Amino acid sequence: MKILFTGASSFTGMWFARELAAAGHQVTATLTRQRREYAGLRLERINNLSDSVIFQESTRFGDDPFLALVEKQGPWDLLCHHASEMANYRSADFDPFQALQNNAARLPRVLTAFQQAGGRGVLLTGSVFEPDEGIGNEPRRAFSPYGLSKGLTWQCFRYYAEIGGLRLGKFTIPNPIGPWEEPRFTSYLIRTWKDQQTAEVKTPDYIRDNIPVDLLATCYARFAQGIPEFAHPIAHCHPSGYVESQGAFAERFARAMRSRLALDCSLRLLRQTDFSEPLMRINHEPARALAPDWDETRFWDATAAFYRKTHAL
C-alpha cells in the first residue's frame, strides 16, 4: 500500500512507520519542521527511518502543504494519523480544545481531498486513557485533559469518516515501553540502578498495561493493512501487553535488566497513598495472540542494549 503517515518522530510513531515499511508498504511521513531543526531522541528516531521512509518536511496535518501532498502525490491507500498535540500532556492545564483543533485541523477538507484522490481508509491512533476506552474502574472517564482531547479527536474523525463513507480504524495504545522511549519510569529505574541505589515505586498498586513497543508495532502494521478491506466501515484494535500491578511490572523489568546489564536492580515498593487515577485501566486483546511470532527475548535484549548506550553502562 501507499501510506501517508503523521507523527513519525514520536516514540511509537517511529516504530509504527518502520514496521509498515518493513512489511513492504511505501510510507511517506510528514515532519512539522525542517529535519535539521530536530535534536536529541526525535532526531535519532528520524535518522532510524531514513533508509525506509520518505519524509515530507515542514508539513502539519491540515495545513496547505499537507493538503497539497494529499491531492497531488496520491493516490493513497491509507492515511495513518498518529500525530497528536502532547505538549505538557501530563498537566491539568493542558488545553484539550486547542489540542483538538490541532489534531483535526481542516478535517472535512482533508478527508474529502483524500477520498477524491483515491484514498481507501484512515487509521487513527487512540489511547487507553481516553473516556470509555479500555477495561477498568467505572465510570471510565478520561484520565486527564489530554485523554479528553484524544476522545474528542476520535469523535470528530468518526463523524466525518462515516458521512463521507470512508473506512476508519482506531488503534488504541496502552503504555508502550522499549528502545527510543521518552525518559519516563523505566529510564528512572536505569538511572537509579546505575548510581547503585534502590529504586522506589511510589504507585505499586495501580494495574496497568505495559506493552513492548516492537510487539505493539507488529500489531499496528497488521491491523493497518487490513483496514481498506474490512467489511465493516469502522474497526478497532486494542492490543494488550503485560497486565499487572506497577509493582509487579517493576520487578519484571528488574529481572530482565539484572542479567543483561550486570546491575543490582534493587527495588522498594512503597505503600501507595495516592489513588487520584483509576486503580485499573487496560486494553483487552492479548497482543501475543495477534502477533504469535513475536520474540520476547529479543525485545529485552534490544531494550538493554538501548539503555547500555544511552546511560553509558
List per-residue pLDDT tens for the chain, 313 residues long. 999 999 999 999 999 999 999 999 999 999 999 999 999 999 999 999 999 999 999 999 999 999 999 999 989 999 999 999 888 888 889 999 999 999 999 999 999 999 999 999 999 999 999 999 999 999 999 989 999 999 999 999 999 999 999 999 999 999 999 999 999 999 999 999 999 999 999 999 999 999 999 999 999 999 999 998 887 899 999 999 999 999 999 999 999 999 999 999 999 999 999 999 999 999 999 999 999 999 999 999 999 999 999 998 8
Same domain, yes or no: 220 and 144: yes
pLDDT value of position 5: 98
Same domain, yes or no: 296 and 271: yes
CA distances from 61 to 121, 158, 200, 237 (A): 16, 17, 40, 23
Number of domains in the chain: 2
Same domain, yes or no: 230 and 205: no
The answer to whether the pTM exceeds 0.85 is yes
Question: Residues, the chain, total?
Answer: 313
CATH number of the domain that 112 lies in? 3.40.50.720
> What does the longest C-alpha to C-alpha distance in the chain come to?
59
Same domain, yes or no: 166 and 108: yes
Give the integer Cα–Cα distance in Å for 151 and 173: 13
pLDDT value of position 183: 93
Cell numbers standing for residue 99: 489540542
Same domain, yes or no: 43 and 66: yes
Same domain, yes or no: 250 and 225: no
Q: Is 216 exposed, middle or buried (0-12, 13-18, 19+ CB in 10 A)?
A: buried
